[in-house]
Amino acid sequence: MDQPKIKTLDNSGEADILKVILAIFLPPVGVLLEVGLTKHFWINVLLTLLGFIPGLVHAVWIIAKK
């Protein structure tokens, strides 16, 4: 018998939508889920501390660019 297929959210459009929704409320968390603890995460933390809108724009850009 074939094993049942399990649907995951990895590398799918649904995962990106969830990350963008999360990024609207907490931009660094959306970036963290997308790229991990990289320079982009720390840049986003800094941008969010300087102003919420720059952090939000950066987070959506990081999530959408892949």
Q: Where are the domains of the chain?
A: 13-64
**What are 5-61's pLDDT values in tens digits?**
555 555 567 888 999 999 999 999 999 999 999 999 999 999 999 999 999 999 999
Could you tell me which of 7, 3, 19 has the C-alpha nearest to residue 65? 19
Report the predicted TM-score, pTM, of the whole model to 2 decimal places: 0.78
Q: Which two tokens mark 40?
A: 């982009």
- Any residues with CB less than 8 A from the CB of 41 and at least 6 apart, and which? 28, 31, 32, 35
